[in-house]
Amino acid sequence: MAVIYSKIGIIGGGISGLAAAKQLSKHNPIVFEATDSIGGVWKHCSFKTTKLQTPRCDYQFSDYPWPQTHDNSIFPMKNDPQIFKGKVMHSQEYSKLSVQDSAQLVKGKNVVVVGYKKSAIDLAVECAEANHVIYSKIGIIGGGISGLAAAKQLSKHNPIVFEATDSIGGVWKHCSFKTTKLQTPRCDYQFSDYPWPQTHDNSSDNFPSYVEILDYLDSYANHFDLFKFINFNSKVTEIRFVGGQETMAYQSLTYGKPVWEVAVHNTKSDTIQWYAFEFVVVCSGKYGDIPIIPKFPMKNDPQIFKGKVMHSQEYSKLSVQDSAQLVKGKKVVVVGYKKSAIDLAVECAEANHGEEGKLCTMVVRTPHWIVPHYSVWGLPFYLFYSTRFSQFFHQRPNQGILRDLLCHLFSPVRKVTSKIIESYLLWKLPLVKYGLKPDHPFEEDYASCQMAILPDKFFPHADMGNINFKRASNWWFWEGGVEFEDNTRLEADVVLLATGYDGKKKLKTMLPEPFRSFLEFPSSMLPLYRGTIHPLIPNMAFIGYVESVSNLHTSEMRCKWLARMLDDEFKLPSTEKMLEQITSEMDIMKTSTRFYKRSCISTFSINHTDEICKEMGWSCWRKKSWFAEAFSPYSSQDYEKNI
């Protein structure tokens, strides 16, 4: 056995070890630290409330270390901790718990702290804070578009909004790339009572960038003084049901008792605070936080790959310089063919533009219809799907036998409409050339809210050879890149996964049982009445989980509906009636598209809003003439107030 010789060895990397190493440095001592960091007890035996007990000026290195002693009590044999039915823990073991686990240990428990020195006092303070609950009528989870709309419509109740990050904006702030733009025309993506500022030239760019959208949202929040409601850096880690059996159905805000308790982790102070609410509005959204990572055979997972694997969520957090550096001069594979994947491919192509640039390859499992702009053969796109007349030919919930018959008779009209749009896209775009012509009709992508607006430079980059395409249903890693089911291999330095997010899993991590299990439905869709209320989860609403052509308009309308429901302007139907309505909507989605799990209402959005208006006591017909009512599109401005 070989022995390494040195003059001096020092065991321990705490205060004493550091002081010794400093004073003996001329002898080149070897210091042995058992853990992965210096600091000793300060690193491994401190609580989140632990502070120095001497003035800063008196706490400096010297040649006399502080002793560390434990005063262990001795119990009689018959009265030792073994007889106790609860939990016994030394402060050392407690200090190793996470913030969430330490709060969970003492929350709602009778806690005895033995001792009166600094550690004991800190423990007592943490127990007291964990059991202190702040009460408010309404809590809102999320500071994105839906959270802002909810805060505005419920502002008279002084809601508390929990935003996990340090800024508003949701996915626009935290899941966007530098090329990300709005997928809806600017005029269709604005709050009903706050149009886009006049400083924007709407004619020059109908699809604003994510930076413009964030500016608009910030302006909206300032205009309506919404920031006063928002707690930033506040991540909801747990929700508890504290209502009784009588609150298993919806209770009015006049009930006056909390139904939910919410644990919030302040990521700045690293503390847990509990809140109690009569009603909770979940606006955390379907996107962000929990990425979907494909599953691979054990020997062909990302571990075998010698390059870099990154989900689009991680990529979106990079700076412009770092994202360009990641892909420049690299062979990049982008997995996916929806909006995020297309944006990633364009960014990779632009970073590698030039003679020394490398090829970017998109791995496409299911091609979807993409559109270059919002017009078809010179006609505005809204004429095909976004008017009362055009939606008359599509199925809607609870339409009756006569409308069922009419929809069946007019089904050829729907097919012709889809074919007209497909013919234009095949003429306008080189979909056949690159093997990207979808196998399903355009209507199915529209009915599932999967129609993506194409970046201007996407196909020009493909024509220049900067972007390539590979159709494949299954693929996996090898050490030099990715391999496909046809036994072909593709070399890669970087693999970017634009494979989406698991929004339902994000909800499940927050909700307790049995409510967590209620999120499961045979159709795999989230069962929400009016896209907002789960019939089996009391005093809780979900905003932003139903999609349409304009998600902002959809969320705002549901927030208006929710505000009036909470003000007792109307009553919810029975649980049976709500489930019947939910099932009817799901059946329409299933018959409209094979991609129905996205919960999209785009083909019957006007009818859906009509029914919301009826419950609020509003008029359904919002236009000034029958012609406009039939042939002009509806937007959020049509629903600014009751008429």
Question: Looking at residue 71, what is its pLDDT?
Answer: 43
Q: Where are the domains of the chain?
A: 1-40+82-131, 135-288+503-603, 302-372+429-497
Tokens 């419950």 -> residue: 615
What does the radius of gyration of the chain's CA atoms come to, in whole angstroms? 30
| Pick from 576, 578, 593, 573: nearest CA to 523 | 593
Which CA distances in Å does 555 have to 127, 149, 542, 544, 550? 39, 7, 10, 6, 9
Question: Looking at residue 57, what is its pLDDT?
Answer: 65
Question: Looking at residue 246, what is its pLDDT?
Answer: 65
Cross-strand pairs, 360: 332, 467
Question: From the CB of residue 164, how many other CB atoms can be counted at a distance below 10 Å?
Answer: 21
Alpha carbons within 13 angstroms on the beta-carbon side of residue 356 total 3
Question: Looking at residue 200, what is its pLDDT?
Answer: 47
- Strand 379-380 to 452-453 pairing: unpaired
Quote the CA–CA distance of 575 and 537 in Å, as a whole number: 10
Quote the CA–CA distance of 496 and 313 in Å, as a whole number: 10
CATH architecture of 1-40+82-131: 3-Layer(aba) Sandwich (3.40)
Question: Looking at residue 333, what is its pLDDT?
Answer: 96
Largest CA distance in the chain: 97
Question: Looking at residue 266, what is its pLDDT?
Answer: 93
Residue ranges for the chain with pLDDT beneath 50: 66, 68-74, 200, 202-203
Identical fold for domains 135-288+503-603 and 302-372+429-497, yes or no, is yes
Question: Looking at residue 472, what is its pLDDT?
Answer: 93
Rounded to 5 degrees, φ, ψ at 42 are -60, -30
Tokens 């050392």 -> residue: 92
Quote the CA–CA distance of 319 and 324 in Å, as a whole number: 8
Q: CB within 8 A of 223, min separation 6: which ones? A: 194
Which CA distances in Å does 162 have to 19, 169, 172, 231, 273? 44, 13, 17, 5, 12
Q: CB within 8 A of 495, min separation 6: which ones? A: 302, 305, 307, 308, 309, 310, 332, 333, 335, 477, 481, 482
| Pick from 22, 38, 50: nearest CA to 117 | 50
What's the topology of domain 302-372+429-497? FAD/NAD(P)-binding domain (3.50.50)
| Pick from 146, 225, 214, 230: nearest CA to 182 | 214
What's the topology of domain 135-288+503-603? FAD/NAD(P)-binding domain (3.50.50)
Quote the CA–CA distance of 44 and 553 in Å, as a whole number: 51
Question: Looking at residue 76, what is its pLDDT?
Answer: 52
Considering the entire predicted model, what is its pTM? 0.81
